[in-house]
Amino acid sequence: MDSPSSKLPPLLASIHSPADVKALAPETLPELAQEIRTTLIDSLAKTGGHLAPNLGVVELSIALHRVFSTPRDKIIFDVSHQSYVHKMLTGRADKLNTIRQYQGISGFAKCSESPHDAYGAGHAGTALSAGIGMAAARDLLGDDYHVVSVVGDGAFTCGTTLEALNNLSSTTRKFILILNDNKWSIDRNVGALSRYFSSLQETDTYTLLRDRAKSFVEGIGSKLIQEQAAKLVQAARSFISPLSFFRQMGLSYYGPIDGHDVHRIERVLRLASRRNEPVVIHIITTKGKGYAPAADNPPSYHGIGQYNVKNGVPVRKGGLTYSEVFGQCVTDMAAEDPLITAITAAMPGGTKLDLFREKHPKRYFDVGIAEEHAALFACGMATQGFKPYLAVYSTFMQRCVDMIEHDAALQNLPVKFCMDRAGLSPDDGPTHHGLFDISMLRVIPNLVMMQPKDEAELCHMLNTMNGIMNHPSAIRYPRGAGEGVDIPEELQVLPIGKAELLKDGGDIALLALGNMNSLAAGVCEKLENGGISCAHLNARFIKPLDEAALAEYATRCKLIVTLEDHSICGGFGAAVMEKISELGKTTPVLRIGWPDTFVEHGSLAQLRAKYRLTIEDITADILAAYSEQDQ
């Protein structure tokens, strides 16, 4: 069998480290870029991944490794979903076919994977702050290596990026910030900063004027005249271009530069590397470049599953996803209720609020990659009688915890926090698993929190949220296809804090949350076949819990078992233990969920098998705990 590296095209196969990139003849670089694009397109068709972002940074990644020397020099990618090319140029090209696969390389930069990955992250707005911290540490140590942060224009809508930008020139002198401007984050960028960066793309005149003005000033003999002429040039510069934004931040600016001209990027990077001042290099790239389906529709190919290489058509698995059901249900509800609004943080496609945008454009709001602002924006809207539904991935909603507590819950505002991708987000790994939202939010007073067992119950819960006008509410639902249940035509209002009894029993009570109910049903059947009477309850509500049901089954049963797609540390099971103790019961509680660790990436089946979350393993663990009660 051929080794993976033998299947790579010739130039790419010859690269085992950045030194090999530096050794290439300049005229071969466009050919290398084409080989990288072909390899990305062919490989990701089988594994899925972030296709469009990586196709857009091929030339930039090559130029970075031509000029800088990692791991001594630090290259930090914001979000780092666009680090696939960097991985290929740092000795991992032969492992690209394992990306996002169990025990394969990560779809994000990961320090433990390679010393060339200077900083691991999967959220936007991290690269500039982390890079400035590295540069400050370098300065304290008296070292002189380079620190380069690659930040997309979408991440400039993120508060942490702007906070870092404000701090840059006062913290370090030697730093390079690359603004990768493609007008997209995941969906098309929105807001004033997006318009600002678009205007920067039209200022090649400024670059020409700057260079000529500099030569003119330097050619004047008198120092006084030089100083006055320099001031005049500075004033003219401010007048003819919008670059005062960066100048006021104390940064030197280069660009805009064609982000697909590898030779020009390399020249500018070499120039910037010799400067002892913070430098911004503004490059213009095309997201999805080199693959027509991705270039024509960047949002759909930002993060994509398997697809047909010839036409780019995704390989569809399963029925409607929970995201699609959410988007359709909220859209339909809004047709009947003019007070419903929908808010996203740059993810209309991922959350499926693009369905809402199409039907109710005036009540749809995309605030960019600014989750904290999105939450506060929703709170402000709620004070005026509206019913805002804020849809954000669970892993990103973590940034809103302060706003959920301090603004929504403290003031009892009826904001609806909808957490997509709650629980395991298998292939994306620890940066994207939604395994901590329950523990973060269940301690907040006045908050109603729930999770549906299937698509129909998701719709009923969204309708239930719509009627909660004196409290904030939150709902969590998983990634991917649902259980295959039809969307109901008539929506119910569920009784707050009331569990659903699916099967009665008297020896063991299983309290399952959300998508764990399908596992619980299988476990319950095995226990019954073994002669153990098993009750199965669909918990529905994380907060408030069903106290009456807990009191009843803690009295009747020898063992309570909780099942959740969440960390067992501080999660749903912990809440049940606390409540049973408050009720004065001593019935033991066995918690089934993800362990207190950062779970790696892999398929759902592989990870459940590793962490004993299969029907067989759960049944065995319950039987072991139950047998202890009979001794």
Active site residues: 287, 371, 399
Spatial strand order in the sheet of 278-284: 74-77, 147-152, 175-181, 278-284, 252-258
Q: The tokens of 615 are what? A: 């029907």
What is the number of alpha carbons within 13 Å of residue 552 lying toward its C-beta?
A: 14
Rounded to whole angstroms, how far apart are CA atoms 197 and 178? 13
Task: Name 519's Cβ contacts closer than 8 Å, sequence gap at least 6.
Answer: 512, 563, 613, 614, 615, 618
Residue 578: partners with Cβ closer than 8 Å, 6 or more residues away: none
Question: What are the C-alpha distances in Å from 515 to residues 322, 429, 438, 502, 506?
Answer: 11, 19, 15, 14, 24
Q: What are phi and psi of 417, to 5 degrees?
A: -90, 115
Burial 528-566 (b: 16+ CB within 10 A, else e): beeebbbbbbbbbbbbbbbeebbeebbeebbbbbbbbbb
Report the candidate in 10, 14, 35 with the shortest Cα–Cα distance to residue 23: 14
Identify which of 509, 523, 553, 505 has the alpha carbon closest to the alpha carbon of residue 613: 523
Q: Specify the length of the chain in residues.
A: 631
Count of H helices and E strands in the chain? 27, 17
SS3 category, 49: strand
Query: Is it true that the peptide bond before 242 is cis, omega within 30 degrees of 0?
Result: no
Question: Which pair of structure tokens corresponds to residue 164?
Answer: 């870092």
Q: What are the helix (H) ranges across 371-467? A: 371-382, 394-397, 401-403, 437-441, 455-466
